[in-house]
């Protein structure tokens, strides 16, 4: 059974990645990921031009069927993560970047273009927890404008992290924008934005910022994640890879993501619950399913979801 996958020309021994934001903010956490077996590649916490504290605690809360977070984009700053990918990385790494404004995104990517970094970068267009800031990728015209300006100067590998969409026309619209640009990949989905959890005993919310509203992850978002992977795979140019993120707790969930068209699959909330050993368990479960079905490689079933 062969779990190997391709990350923009680099062969990975496993199609699994961490979801950006989970265990990837500090040098210690990034080194842990580099030493995690069955994690084929890794993604950094989205970096902003300046380091950020993020929102006040509590800002992450574990739920029976997933998680809710309003982290507020805490990160050590773009310079730290650029240094990491240039000097420290030992495992294929995607540099995730975010911006509080389109202008900041342009500034950051112009610096990256001028840097020695030649590896893959992922522009996060979907952070739901910056107070007062919209999730950019829900504004199709604004997304088009930002990507148009970025690709007027950026020539290195670049993908985007998308929020979940819930309307087939929105899949059409975002795909029409993305297909205009030489993107390496889309990573879908980011958390389902602005959910709310109520602690009935305490009669109160469970996270502090934004009155308790926060991004949802974990098993509860799997159907939305699968729909977004499938819809975007059906609509995007073949040259644009699809990284599936959202709702993975088992090997079967990874199989489903790949069946829907995912080239690689990220796992976040489950790692927060179970630790980095999750990747070994998931790889074994995926191999068992493939053996049972007689599949030798991921290409044997990728994108081959059957309709009725």
Contacting positions for ligand ERO (CB under 6 A): 21, 46, 69-73, 98, 124, 126-129, 190-191, 215
Among 97, 127, 189, 232, the one annotated catalytic:
127
d(CA 213, CA 215): 7
Round to whole Å and give the CA distance between 301 and 258.
7
Residue 175's closest CA among 147, 201, 155? 147
Partner residues linked to 10 by β-bridges: 7
In whole angstroms, how close is the CB of 125 to ligand ERO at the nearest point? 9
**Rounded CA gap, 196 and 194, in Å?**
6
> Residue 218 is encoded by which pair of tokens?
């974990």
- Least distance from C-beta 55 to ligand ERO, angstroms? 7
Q: How far is the CB of 74 from ligand ERO (least distance, A)?
A: 6
Rounded to a whole number of angstroms, the minimum distance from the CB of residue 287 to ligand ERO is 30
Q: Shortest gap between Cβ of 36 and ligand ERO (angstroms)?
A: 21
How many CA atoms lie less than 13 Å away from 7 in the CB half-sphere? Answer: 29
Q: Give the residue ranges of DSSP H helices in the chain.
A: 27-34, 78-83, 102-114, 140-150, 168-178, 222-235, 251-259, 269-274, 278-293
Query: Which of 30, 71 has the CB closer to ligand ERO?
Result: 71
Give whichever of 101 and 234 is closer to ligand ERO, judged by the CB atom: 101
Q: Please, what is the minimum distance in Å from the beta carbon of residue 221 to ligand ERO?
A: 11
Q: What is the CA radius of gyration of the chain?
A: 18
Which lies closer to ligand ERO via its Cβ, residue 71 or residue 243?
Answer: 71
Q: For the residues of 208-238, what is the DSSP string, one character each?
A: SGGGGEEEEESGGGHHHHHHHHHHHHHHS-T
Q: Which is nearer to ligand ERO, 5 or 272 (CB)?
A: 272
Q: Please state, in angstroms and rounded to a whole number, the distance separating the CA atoms of residues 265 and 300.
A: 16
Q: Is 24 noted as a catalytic residue in this protein?
A: no
Nearer to ligand ERO, 3 or 127 (CB): 127
- Residue 45 is given by DSSP the state P
59: preceding bond cis by omega (within 30 degrees) = no
The gap from C-alpha 110 to its chain's centroid, in whole angstroms, comes to: 22
Q: Closest CB to ligand ERO among 47 and 236?
A: 47
Residues marked as catalytic = 127
């Amino acid at each position: 059974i062969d779990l190997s996958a391709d990350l923009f020309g680099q062969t990975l021994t496993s199609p699994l990645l961490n979801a950006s934001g989970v265990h990837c903010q500090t040098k210690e956490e990034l080194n842990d990921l580099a030493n995690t077996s069955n994690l084929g590649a890794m993604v950094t916490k989205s970096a902003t031009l300046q380091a950020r504290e993020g929102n006040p605690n509590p800002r992450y809360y574990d739920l029976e069927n997933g998680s809710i977070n309003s982290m507020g984009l805490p990160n050590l700053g773009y310079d730290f993560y650029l240094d990491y990918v240039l000097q420290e990385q030992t495992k294929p790494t995607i540099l995730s970047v975010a911006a509080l404004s389109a202008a900041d995104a342009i500034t950051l990517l112009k610096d990256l273009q001028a840097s020695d970094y030649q590896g893959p970068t992922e522009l996060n267009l979907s952070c739901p927890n910056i107070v007062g800031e919209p999730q950019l990728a829900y504004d199709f015209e604004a997304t088009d404008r930002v990507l148009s300006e970025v690709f007027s100067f950026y020539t290195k590998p670049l993908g985007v992290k998308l929020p979940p969409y819930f309307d087939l026309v929105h899949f059409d619209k975002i795909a029409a924008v993305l297909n205009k640009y030489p993107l390496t990949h889309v990573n879908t989905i980011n958390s389902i934005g602005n959910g709310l959890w109520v602690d009935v005993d305490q009669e109160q919310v469970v996270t502090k910022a934004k009155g308790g509203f926060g991004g949802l992850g974990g098993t509860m978002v799997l159907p939305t994640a699968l729909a977004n992977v499938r819809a975007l795979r059906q609509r995007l140019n073949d040259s644009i890879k699809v990284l599936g993120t959202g709702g993975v707790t088992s090997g079967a969930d990874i199989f489903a993501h790949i069946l829907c068209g995912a080239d690689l699959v990220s796992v976040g909330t489950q790692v927060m619950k179970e630790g980095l050993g999750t990747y070994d368990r998931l790889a074994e479960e995926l191999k068992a399913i493939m053996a049972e079905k007689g599949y030798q490689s991921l290409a044997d079933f990728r994108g081959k979801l059957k309709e009725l």
